[in-house]
Structures are given as C-alpha cells and as structure tokens.
Amino acid sequence: MPTESPALSVAARDPRLNDAPLLSAARRRQPPVTPVWFMRQAGRSLPEYLKVREGIPMLESCRRPELVTEITLQPVRRYGVDAAIFFSDIVVPLKAVGVGLDIKPGVGPVIEQPFRTRADLERIPQLHPGMIDDIAESVRLLTAELGATPLIGFAGAPFTLASYLVEGGPSRDLARTKALMYSDPQLWADLLARLAQISGEFLRVQVAAGVSAVQLFDSWVGALPLADYLAFVQPASASVLSAVRELDPGVPRIHFGVQTGELLGAIGEAGADVVGVDFRVPLDEAVTRIGPDRAVQGNLDPALLFAPREVLRGRVHAILEAGRAAPGHIFNLGHGVMPGTDPDAVKFVVDTVHAWKPAQE
Ligand SMILES: Cc1c2[nH]c(c1CCC(=O)O)Cc1[nH]c(c(CCC(=O)O)c1C)Cc1[nH]c(c(CCC(=O)O)c1C)Cc1[nH]c(c(C)c1CCC(=O)O)C2
C-alpha cells in the first residue's frame, strides 16, 4: 500500500500558482475568468506533435523527458490554455513494473498476456519511485518551463487499468472484466488493490516533483451500475485519491469517467475535489447530483468542434452559464479531443471561454 513506500518530499511550487484560475476553481474560490483546458490536448492531430514523434513509438516517447516536455508544452503555446496535461499514458506505470504491453496506433493499449487467474497477480509487482525517475525528471523540467501555468499530473484508475489487463486490449462491453468481478470478488479486490498502489505511487511521484493538480481517469467505469461501483470499485479509487491527499492536501484531485451520469455523486465521494462530467448530463443537472462541496469540470461534446463556429459558440456559452450553478467550474470537453479535430476550432473555444462575461442577474 502507498504508506509502505519510501517517503517522498514535495517540491516547492511557483508562488504565482496561488492565483492560477484552474486551481482557484478547483478550490471553489470563483476565479475572475473560467479556466479551460482539454483532455487529450497534447498529441493526436497537432502537426508539431506528429513532427517530433516521427519514428518514435508512443511508450518510448513517454519516457524521454525532453520530448515529454516539448509535447506537453505544445498545446499551451498554441492555444493559451489554463493548464498543461502531462504527456504520458495510463499504461506507463504498468509497463514500468514489467507488464508486457504496447500501445498500438489507432487501437490503444494491448496486453501480451491478459490477466485471468490469481497466478497472474505475480506479474504485476508494486511500483516504487525509483522505477520512474524519468517521470519525476519530466515533471521538474516542465514546471520550470511553465512557471505560473499549472501542470496537471494523471493516472488511470484501478477499474480502467484492470479492464485493459483483463480484456487484453480495448473492449466494447467489458464482458471478461465483469465476469472476473462477479465470479471471483476476492481476486478482483486483490487486483484492484495492487493497481491502486501502482496508480497512487505514479501520482505521488508526480506530486512530489511539482505537479499542481492531478486527474484520475476512470474512463470506462460508466459500464457499471451504481451498486456495483460502490461495492467493487470505489474503495480502490478512494485509496488512490487518499494517497495523494496524504502526501499533499493542497493538490486538487480531479476524477473523471465517461457515461457516469448515474455515478457522479459516488465519484465525488471517492475523494475528488473536482468531478469531471461527460457531455451526456447537462452541467447544472450534474451539479445537483454532485452537491455543493465539489467543483465540476466539463462538458462540451468533442464532436461539436466539427460544427460551424456559431453553433459551437452557442454551446460553449450554454455550458458556461450552466457552470455558474457550481461552486467552481473548469471548462473542458466531455471526453478527449478527437483525432482530426481542427486546431483552430480548439483555439476558438479557448478564446470564447476567456472572452465570456456572465449575464447580469
Ligand atoms: C483510456 C486512456 C488511455 N490513455 C489515457 C486514457 C484516459 C483518458 C481517456 O479516457 O481518453 C490517458 C492519456 N493518454 C495520453 C494522455 C496525455 C495527454 C493529453 O490528454 O493530451 C492522457 C491523459 C496520451 C496518448 N495516448 C495515446 C495517444 C496516441 C498515440 C499516438 O499519437 O501514437 C496519446 C497522444 C494512445 C492511447 N492510450 C489509450 C488509448 C485509448 C489510446 C488511443 C489509441 C489510438 O486511438 O491511437 C489508453
């Protein structure tokens, strides 16, 4: 468990970060402008990204600090977003502990030997900070470059990591994952506890090296009904988020999954300061489900970036209005930027958010 790991000491952060709109919104202190960033803002279709990645496999790119720094900074330069998201992947810590896997372009993570029995647990050892010195180095290089702009660290949540390990790759229905969960609850709990240690340590290394917020991605947890989420998933996610809080309670924790309309309250209660909302639930309705103690992040449909500008502007304004119901709102998409998105449309959204003024009551 995280508490057994060697003590990590937390780096000093740039004092200007205290006034960063993203961190103010996460702390429910309404900033003068609504902050905006995008899931998957780095990589994908940016021409400057494709150029520096040429000939370098995805997982190797994630372990080269100079390259990670360059790719993470690209969308900050181009769009003027209010935060950088660390360029990495949710499977990087699994690879670091020795799980045989690769990221196949256009497919996603593929696992050499999918997780099926208790014996497979032995192939997933605990993560120790020394296994990811390069991650700490990348964060240090980045925070030095970013100055007053927050860097968001991230990890995959235990359920979503388990889904890749059990399915062996991306899956539509997560049938094998659910079958394991329902047929051998003890093995499932042990797998999730191991993944919670790995995720928690991956985040703690990033926090110790200087990230100013973290996001825990539970992308596929919306496949579960609430009762199963509470019984089979929430304890492991809560342990990841509390490992971060123990190291530095001042680092806000964002928690997000897709199709989580029925789970929003429980996702907040796992220990998040900010709940990410996908585009299926109107933001003001999401605020009602989450309650007044947490900020929200979201929730423009990524497909709207392909719509005409006047339609896009109308939707952005509607989300900003709905976000006023929350004690803090970070503008984002309801999921990641889609491949093929026009970078000018992304820039248009940033400028529209920053230019917006709430209507007078
Ligand atoms: C489920 C998941 C993964 N990875 C991630 C999640 C959770 C977020 C989500 O729900 O989208 C998280 C992730 N992956 C990546 C980032 C970095 C920064 C960012 O958000 O901009 C983040 C935060 C880089 C990446 N991760 C990946 C790429 C594309 C690799 C490339 O450019 O070759 C990038 C930039 C690969 C990857 N890795 C994964 C997928 C589904 C894919 C896409 C495969 C494809 O369609 O090509 C697993």
pLDDT at 118: 97
> In the block, which residue shows the tokens 């996603």?
108
Report the top-level CATH class of 2-355: alpha beta
Task: Please indicate if the annotation marks 335 as binding a ligand.
Answer: yes
42 Cα to the center of ligand 1, angstroms: 9
344 is catalytic: no
Per-residue model confidence (pLDDT) at position 3: 47
**Ligand 1 mutation target, pool 89, 135, 142, 151, most atoms within 8 A of CB:** 89
User: Is residue 266 annotated as involved in ligand binding?
Assistant: no
Instruction: Please confirm, yes or no, whether 172 is among the known catalytic residues.
Output: no
CA distances from 121 to 131, 141, 188, 218, 238 (A): 19, 34, 10, 21, 21
Which distant-in-sequence residues (6+ apart) come within 8 Å of 209 by Cβ? 11, 135, 136, 137, 139, 140, 143
Task: Note the pLDDT of residue 264.
Answer: 98
In the 8-state DSSP scheme, what is residue 36?
A: B
Q: Classify the phi-psi angles of 210: left when phi > 0, otherwise alpha if psi is within -120 to 50, otherwise beta.
A: left
Helix (H) or strand (E) holding 155, with range, is strand 151-156
Specify the pLDDT at position 45: 75
pLDDT (0 to 100) of residue 58: 96
Please confirm, yes or no, whether 342 is among the known catalytic residues. no
28, 53, 63, 324: which is the annotated catalytic residue?
Answer: 53
From the candidates 14, 28, 40, 64, give the one annotated as an active-site residue.
40
Q: Which atom of ligand 1 is nearest to the CA of 42?
A: 21
Q: What is the mean pLDDT of each run of 10 residues along the chain (361 residues)?
A: 64 93 96 96 89 96 98 98 98 98 95 98 97 98 97 98 96 96 98 98 98 98 98 98 97 98 98 98 98 97 98 98 97 95 97 90 60
The reply to whether 82 belongs to the active site is no
CA of 90 to the centre of ligand 1 (A): 8
DSSP symbols for 210-277: T-SEEEEE-TTGGGS-HHHHHHHTHHHHHHHHHHHHHH-TTS-EEEE-SS-GGGHHHHHHTT-SEEE-
Rounded Cα–Cα distance for residues 88 and 190 (Å) = 26
Domain boundaries, the chain: 2-355
